């Protein structure tokens, strides 16, 4: 692979990863907005204790997707911060589900 092709591949990978991270960040923001009542206009109440609650399922699926994307992109970005975030999210998910 010549240098130009390698740079193009790296640029495309970076753009895809940035898009993935933006999408996940937006999804996390939506979950937080729902949890805080911003989208419904209702003030948040006490935390839900129901393990089958829809909000718990949404949060769990969002965390799993975030962890998956962080894991998929770890080869492209050798970031200790992203690795630490991935490990922390994995621990939180394991401890609370």
pLDDT tens digits, 73-96: 777 777 787 788 888 888 877 876
Q: For residue 56, give its domain range.
A: 3-95
pLDDT tops 80 at residue 97: no
Is there a contact between 65 and 24 (Cβ–Cβ < 8 Å)? Answer: yes
Compute the C-alpha angle 51/21/13, nearest 5°.
135
The predicted pLDDT at position 48 comes to 66
What's the whole-model pTM score? 0.47
- CA-to-CA distance for 86 and 41, rounded, in angstroms? 32
pLDDT tops 80 at residue 43: no
- CA-to-CA distance for 70 and 66, rounded, in angstroms? 6
pLDDT-derived band at 35 (thresholds 50, 70, 90) equals low
Strand residues in 1-97 grouped as ranges (E): none
Cα dihedral: 84, 19, 97, 47 (round 10)? 100
Q: How many domains in the chain? A: 1
């Amino acid at each position: 692979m010549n240098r130009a092709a390698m740079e193009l591949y790296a640029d495309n990978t970076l753009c895809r990863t940035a898009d993935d991270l933006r999408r996940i960040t937006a999804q996390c923001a939506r979950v937080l907005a729902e949890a805080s009542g911003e989208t419904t206009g209702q003030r948040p109440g006490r935390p839900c204790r129901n393990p089958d609650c829809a909000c718990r399922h949404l949060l769990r699926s969002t965390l799993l997707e975030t962890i998956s994307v962080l894991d998929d992109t770890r080869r492209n970005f050798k970031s200790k911060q992203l690795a630490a975030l991935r490990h922390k999210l994995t621990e939180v998910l394991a401890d609370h589900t």
